[in-house]
Amino acid sequence: TGYALEKKVVKSKVGEKVGLPCCHEIPSSESLHNYRVYWQKNTTEVVLAYAEGKMISKHERYENRTEMDTRNLTLWISPVEILDNGPYQCVVQHLRFPQNSVVVCDEPVTLFVTADFSKPNITAEVSTNSCESTEMVVRCSSHGGFPKPKISGALNNVSVVWNASWVSESSLSPYNVTGKLWLNVTKDVSITCSVEHDGLLKSTSLLLKKSNICVVPTVPPSYNVITASSIIIIIFLLAITLAARYLPRHGKCSSFFQE
């Protein structure tokens, strides 16, 4: 349910029920039959109107979403929409005589509508990579909120500025916001994205990891390595040759002693 910040400003979220207070309350000794009541928006659009106790007008956009208290003349709106945002006016006329009416009150009240943004979503895409650093394109997005938000960021708790863009069909439509950053990451860091409207802050953090993939160019073996390898191979071959020549050969004995 909406609530009044001060006498003439009321705040509400989309989907809630909100009451806009009127500047006059009908005394218990009288009834709505003695009055004309007009609830207007932007001083030109009649939300609803009562005369001599009966409803005489209701705007189609507020059909099935509005009702008026017949004693304190509060205008109730449910569910609240973004289009309901703006200034309203309660005009009350007292019918003292059939042909004579006196304006009892005529005061504005502003309805300030908000809609929550989605939790920010952060994505990171590696553009180039080297042994020393990883270059990334980081994006943060949030949608569906109202009014236009602020987007802020921090890299390891140090403030960064997003390259931000906002999209909305009109001044009274939900906003989508996207922020973009180009980062040169030399070590693992934490990036935070925050979206704020009307004092309400939503944040998301993501750990950006420096890639450990490091391509080391292949170096041809040195002359000393080649020489040492050749000597080892030659010694090995000589050892096999000598072993084949001097190891005893096993054969059958050719002479027998006979008595």
pLDDT tens digits, one per residue of 120-135: 999 999 988 888 888 9
Out of 26-30, 156-160, 231-235, pick the least confident.
Answer: 231-235
Mean pLDDT for 243-257 is 55
The pLDDT score that the predictor gives to residue 258 is 45
Amino acid identity, position 81: E
2.60.40.10, 1.10.3720.10, 3.40.50.1000, 1.10.220.10: CATH of 118-208: 2.60.40.10
Contact residues for 191 (Cβ-Cβ < 8 A; gap 6+): 122, 124, 138, 153, 154, 155, 160, 181, 183, 205, 206, 208
* Closest to 58 in 3D by CA, of 80, 38, 81: 38
User: Is residue 144 pLDDT above 90, yes or no?
Assistant: yes
Q: Which fold does the domain 8-114 belong to in CATH? A: Immunoglobulin-like (2.60.40)
Cα–Cα distance for residue pair 88/68, rounded to 1 Å: 14
User: Is residue 1 pLDDT above 80, yes or no?
Assistant: no
pTM (whole model) above 0.75: no
Task: Concatenate the DSSP letters of all residues of 68-130 into one string.
Answer: E-TTT-PEEESS--GGG-EEEEEEEEEEEETTEEEEEEEEEEEEEEEBPPPPPEEEEEEEEE-
Q: Do domains 8-114 and 118-208 have the same CATH topology?
A: yes
**Domain coordinates in residue numbering, the chain:** 8-114, 118-208
